[in-house]
Chain A
Amino acid sequence: MAVTVKFVSKVCSVVLLFIVLLETIVALRMIQTELNPGCDDRKEDCAGGVAYIKAIGEQNTFHYILTAIGPPTFLVILTEKTTKDAGITINWDNFKSGNITEMEKSIKLDPSYTVLYSYGVVFTRLFQYNDTEDKAELGKLNLKNTAFRVFDFSRSMFEWYDLKPISSDSSIKLRVKNSSAIMGQTINNGSLEFKFSFFDHMDRAKDLPHLQYTEDTSQFDFTLKNIDTGNMSLSRFALESVLFSTDSAGGDMKFDETKSIDDEYTPGVFKISNWLARPEKEDQGGFLQHKPVCYTKPKRGRAYGTYVRGYGLTKVTDVQYLLDQSAVLAYFGSVNMANLRISSTNFSFGLTEDGTFTKTNYTVWTGSIGYGKPPMDVVSSLVVVVISVGLGIPVVLILFGGLFVCLKKKTDPLLVDVSKNAVSVN
Chain B
Amino acid sequence: MSESEKKPLLGTSDEEEDKLTGCGKTLCCNPFRFLHRYLILIIMCFLSFGSYFCYDNPAALQDTMIKDLKISESTFMGFYSWYSWPNVILCFFGGFLIDKTFGVRLGAIIFSLFVTAGQVVFALGALINNVWLMDVGRFIFGIGGESLAVAQNTYAVKWFQGRELNMVFGLQLSFSRVGSTVNMNIMQPIYKFVSNSGHKGYECLGIVLFIGGIICILSLICALALGYFDKRADRILHRKQLTSEETIRITDVKDFPATMWLLCIICVMYYVAVFPFIGLGLLFFEMKWDFDPSLANNVNSLVYIISAVASPVFGFLIDKTGRNVFWVILGTTVTIGCHALLAFTFVNPYVAMITMGFSYSVLASALWPIAAQIVPNNQLGTAYGIMQAIQNLGLAVVAIIAGAIVDSKGYLVLEVFFLVCLCVALIAAVLLYLLDASRGGKLNMSAKLRQIMKEEADREKEKEEKKPL
Q: Measuring CB to CB, which residues of chain A are less than 8 angstroms from any residue of chain B?
A: 259, 261-270, 301-303, 352-353, 379, 383, 386-387, 390-391, 393-394, 397-398, 401, 404-405, 408, 415-416, 418-424, 426
Q: What would be 8 A-B contacts, judged by CB atoms less than 8 Å apart?
A: A261-B343, A267-B408, A391-B336, A405-B434, A405-B437, A420-B456, A423-B454, A424-B456
Find chain A residues with CB under 8 A from B419 CB. 387, 390-391
Of A261, A301, A422, the contact of B440 (CB 8 Å cutoff): A422
Measured CA separation A303–B434 after assembly (Å): 45
Chain A residues near B27: list those with CB within 8 A: none
Q: Which of B288, B411, B423 contacts A391 (CB 8 A)?
A: B423
CB proximity of A339 to chain B, nearest CB, Å: 39
Of the stretches B125-133, B202-210, B425-433, the one at the interface is B425-433
* Chain B, 282-298, CB within 8 A of any chain A CB: 283-284, 287-288, 292-293
Flag if A422 contacts B427 (CB, 8 Å): no
Chain B residue with minimal CB distance to A393?
B427
Asked if B283 and A268 make an inter-chain contact with CB atoms under 8 angstroms apart, the answer reads: yes
Q: Report B160 CB to chain A, min CB distance, Å.
A: 18
Q: Specify which of B344, B412, B439 is in contact with A264 (CB 8 Å cutoff).
A: B412
Q: Which residues of B contact A386 (CB under 8 A)?
A: 416, 420
Given contacts A267-B411, A383-B416, contact A302 B406 (CB under 8 A): yes
Interface check B12, CB cutoff 8 A: no
Q: Which residues of B contact A (CB under 8 A)?
A: 1, 283-284, 287-288, 292-293, 336, 343-346, 376, 406-413, 416, 419-420, 423, 426-427, 430-431, 433-434, 437-442, 445, 453-454, 456-457, 460
Q: Which residues of B contact A421 (CB under 8 A)?
A: 440
Find out whether the CB atom of B409 lies under 8 angstroms from the CB atom of A264.
Answer: yes
Q: Is the interface of A mostly helix, strand, loop or mixed?
A: helix
Q: Taking each of B284, B412, B453, which has the highest tally of chain A beta carbons within 10 Å of its own beta carbon?
A: B412
With A261-B345, A393-B423, A394-B423 known to touch, is A270 a contact of B416 (CB < 8 Å)?
Answer: no
By a CB distance below 8 angstroms, the chain A residues around B412 are 261-264, 379, 383
Q: Is the CB of B453 within 8 A of A268?
A: no
What distance in Å separates the Cβ of B415 from its nearest Cβ neighbour in chain A?
A: 9
Q: A265-B410, A270-B288, A401-B431 are in contact. List 15 more A-B contacts (CB 8 A).
A: A263-B287, A264-B412, A268-B406, A269-B287, A302-B406, A383-B416, A387-B419, A390-B423, A404-B434, A405-B437, A419-B441, A420-B453, A422-B440, A423-B442, A424-B453
Q: Complex Cα distance A369/B456, Å?
A: 80
Which residues in A have their C-beta under 8 angstroms from that of B440?
415-416, 418-423
Q: Which residues of B contact A426 (CB under 8 A)?
A: 1, 376
Given contacts A263-B411, A267-B407, contact A423 B457 (CB under 8 A): yes
- Taking the nearest CB of chain A, how far is it from the CB of B153, in angstroms? 19
| Complex CA–CA separation, A420 to B454 (angstroms) | 10
Q: Which chain A residues lie closer than 8 Å to B454 at the CB level?
A: 423
Among residues of B, the one whose C-beta sits closest to the C-beta of A292 is: B287
CA–CA, A398 and B333, complex, Å: 12
Q: B407's closest neighbor in chain A, by CB?
A: A302
Name which residue of chain B comes closest to A392, CB basis. B423
Nearest CB of B to A105, in Å: 47
Main secondary structure of the interface of B (DSSP, over half): helix
Residues from chain B with Cβ under 8 Å of A408 in the complex: 438
* B416 / chain A contacts, CB cutoff of 8 Å: 383, 386-387, 390
Contact A264-B410, Cβ < 8 Å, known A386-B416, A422-B439: yes
In the A-B complex, the 3 residue pairs with the smallest Cβ-Cβ separation, listed nearest first, are A419-B440, A267-B410, A263-B410
Contact partners of A270 in chain B: CB under 8 A? 287-288
Across the interface, which residues of B come within 8 angstroms of A420, CB to CB?
A: 440, 453, 456
- When C-beta atoms are compared, the residue in chain B nearest to A401 turns out to be B434
Instruction: Please report the C-alpha to C-alpha distance between residue A383 and residue B426 in the assembled complex, in whole angstroms.
Output: 19
A173 to B288, CA, bound (A): 34
Report the minimal beta-carbon distance from B48 to chain A, rounded to whole angstroms: 29
**Counting chain A CB atoms within 10 Å of each CB, which of B420, B441, B457 scores highest?**
B441
Q: Which residues of B contact A405 (CB under 8 A)?
A: 434, 437-438
A315–B67 CA distance with the chains assembled, in angstroms: 50
Known: A383-B416, A423-B453. A301 touches B427 (CB 8 A): no
Find the A residue at minimum CB distance from B422.
A390
- Inter-chain CA distance A268–B453, complex, in Å, is 54
Cβ-closest chain B residue relative to A409: B437
Chain A residues, Cβ within 8 Å of B345: 261
Which A residues touch B288, using CB under 8 A?
263, 270
Give the contacting residue for A353; candidates B293, B343, B433, B445; CB below 8 A: B293
Q: Which single residue of chain B is at the shortest CB-CB distance from A384? A: B416
Determine whether the beta carbon of A267 is less than 8 Å from that of B409. yes
Query: Which residues of chain A are near B413, meaning CB under 8 Å?
Result: 264, 383
Tell me, rounded to whole Å, the shortest Cβ–Cβ distance linking B469 to chain A. 21
Is B423 in contact with A259, judged by CB distance below 8 angstroms? no
Whether the pair A424, B346 counts as a contact (CB closer than 8 A) is no
Which residues of B are found within 8 Å of A423, using beta-carbon distances? 440, 442, 453-454, 457
A413 to chain B, nearest CB (A): 13
Cα of A379 to Cα of B411 in the assembled complex, Å: 12
| Separation of A408 and B438 alpha carbons in the complex (Å) | 8
Given the complex, which residues of B lie within 8 Å of A266, measured CB to CB? 410
In the complex, what residues of A have CB within 8 A of residue B407's CB? 267, 301-303
Contacts of A269 in B (CB 8 A): 287, 410
- B430 and A398 contacting across the interface, CB-CB below 8 Å: yes
Q: Could you tell me the distance between the alpha carbons of A85 and B347 in the complex, rounded to whole angstroms?
A: 56
In the assembled complex, which residues on chain B have CB atoms less than 8 Å from the CB atom of A397? 427, 430-431
Residue in chain A with minimal CB distance to B411: A263
> Which residues of B sit under 8 angstroms from A259, Cβ to Cβ?
346
Docked CA distance A349–B315 (Å): 50
Q: How far is the CA of A416 from the CA of B439 in the complex (A)?
A: 9
A133 to B: closest C-beta gap in Å: 15
| A194 → B minimal CB distance (Å) | 27
Among residues of B, the one whose C-beta sits closest to the C-beta of A387 is B416
Identify B344's interface contact among A261, A263, A268, A415, CB under 8 A.
A261
B27 CB to closest chain A CB, in angstroms? 32
Chain A residues in 8 Å Cβ range of B336: 391
The residue on A at minimum CB distance from B409 is: A264
